[in-house]
Amino acid sequence: MASPVSTLEQQRSSPAVPMRGSKRRRRPRLTGWAYAAPTALFVLIFFVVPVVLVARMSVSDWGLFTGDRGWNAPENYQDVMDDRLLWPAVWFTIKYTVVTTVILLGLALALALLVQESSRWTGILRSSFLVPSALGLASASLLFYALYSPQSSPLGFLGIDSFLGTPSSALWSTVALIVWRFAGFYMLLLLVGLQSISGDVYEAARLDGASRLQTFRHITLPLLKPSLALCAILCVTGSLLAFDQFYILTKGGPDNSTITIVQLVYNMAFYGQNNLGRAAALSILILAALLVVNLLQFRGLRGRED
């Protein structure tokens, strides 16, 4: 028979077991929060706080030099919708996005297929295609600005009087810059997707008598959808937010024909109007449009997979 002293000691020591277990269960949670805290803090400081500040500015009479002069909602949004350059800028941005995305993804896929197989020249070709991606977009724009300049252009033998003098030539000259700069980057993303496809699938298709075109259409493209989706989202988002290349090459000209929607935000804030409230209102509209576009892309791609 157990003594009262031993029974009392057992009762005192028994609650300590679940406490130790709960501490052990808490440690992974605390470790996870510790790893996530720097990223969460970064997003809070550099994304959430600026978005809240821009939203506050969008409903205020906030000049560049005068500061906040009080609430004026929804005047800024009405002024943005009445701006004569808004819809031309929206149309040009959409046109530029469609042209750039189609050409860039098509060329990147062709380059990825070209360097997919290992050979003596594969490494050299991959490096050659990828080198322009190491150059910053502003630096690449300055390089092409000098290339297109009538005084210093080495392309005079092409017989083109001005690469940036007309709306059409300015658009295609800028598209050429973007394709040269980003084709290697998207090629690399698609090449990773191609190399993740098992060789056994191609071998089975070859044994079944499938041609190269049939293999590409029924095997390569379906299995490459995740990589293509990533490239499409990155390309569309980057094209809709285009600014550097047009600001350096064309300044929105000729005759405001190459003003993008982001460049219009810049003009409202710092060039001419000096109205931060109106620029903030347009920024909020752009953010909402990007969220809608990305949501539609995700839903469309998910529907295809299902």
Q: Is residue 121 part of a domain?
A: yes
Pick from 63-72, 84-93, 115-124: least confident: 115-124
Same domain, yes or no: 146 and 57? no
Q: Is residue 306 part of a domain?
A: no
Same domain, yes or no: 230 and 134? yes
pTM above 0.75, yes or no: yes
Per-residue confidence band for 30, with pLDDT thresholds at 50, 70 and 90: confident
In total, how many domains does the chain have? 2
Per-residue confidence band for 302, with pLDDT thresholds at 50, 70 and 90: low
CATH number, domain with residue 115: 1.10.3720.10
Same domain, yes or no: 226 and 132? yes
Q: Is residue 114 part of a domain?
A: yes
Q: What is the mean pLDDT of the chain?
A: 86
Per the model's pLDDT, the better-predicted residue between 65 and 239 turns out to be 239
Instruction: Please give the single-letter amino acid code of residue 209.
Output: G
Beta bridge partners of 68: 62
Same domain, yes or no: 170 and 275? no
pLDDT at 17 over 50: no
Question: Residue 44's pLDDT is what?
Answer: 92
Question: Residue 25's pLDDT is what?
Answer: 64
End-to-end CA distance of the chain: 68
Compute the C-alpha angle 233/138/175, nearest 5°: 55
Beta bridge partners of 63: 67, 275
Same domain, yes or no: 168 and 213? yes
What is the distance between the alpha carbons of residues 5 and 286, in angstroms, rounded to a whole number?
A: 75
Same domain, yes or no: 244 and 287? no
Same domain, yes or no: 251 and 287? no
Same domain, yes or no: 66 and 122? no
Same domain, yes or no: 104 and 227? yes
Same domain, yes or no: 59 and 94? no
Question: If you ran DSSP here, which 8-state letter would residue 165 be given?
Answer: S
pLDDT at 16 over 50: no
pLDDT digits (tens, 9 = 90+) for 98-127: 999 999 999 999 999 999 887 778 888 888
In this prediction, residues 74-79 reach a mean pLDDT of 92
Same domain, yes or no: 276 and 168? no
Pairing verdict, β 67-71 and 60-63? antiparallel
Q: Is residue 229 part of a domain?
A: yes
Same domain, yes or no: 201 and 287? no
Q: Is residue 27 part of a domain?
A: no
Q: Is residue 18 part of a domain?
A: no
Q: SS3 string of the chain? A: CCCHHHHHHHHHHCCHHHHHHHHHHHHHHHHHHHHHHHHHHHHHHHHHHHHHHHHHHHCEEEECCCEEEEECCCHHHHHHHHCCCHHHHHHHHHHHHHHHHHHHHHHHHHHHHHCCCCCCCHHHHHHHHHHHHHCCHHHHHHHHHHHHCCCCCCCHHHCCCCCCCCHHHHHHHHHHHHHHHHHHHHHHHHHHHHHCCCHHHHHHHHHCCCCHHHHHHHHHHHHCHHHHHHHHHHHHHHHHCCCHHHHHHCCCCCCCCCCCHHHHHHHHHHCCCCEHHHHHHHHHHHHHHHHHHHHHHHHHHHHHHC
Domain that holds residue 281: 50-82+271-301
Q: Is residue 32 part of a domain?
A: no
Contact in structure between 283 and 179 (CB atoms under 8 Å): no
Q: Tokens 């969008």, residue?
A: 58
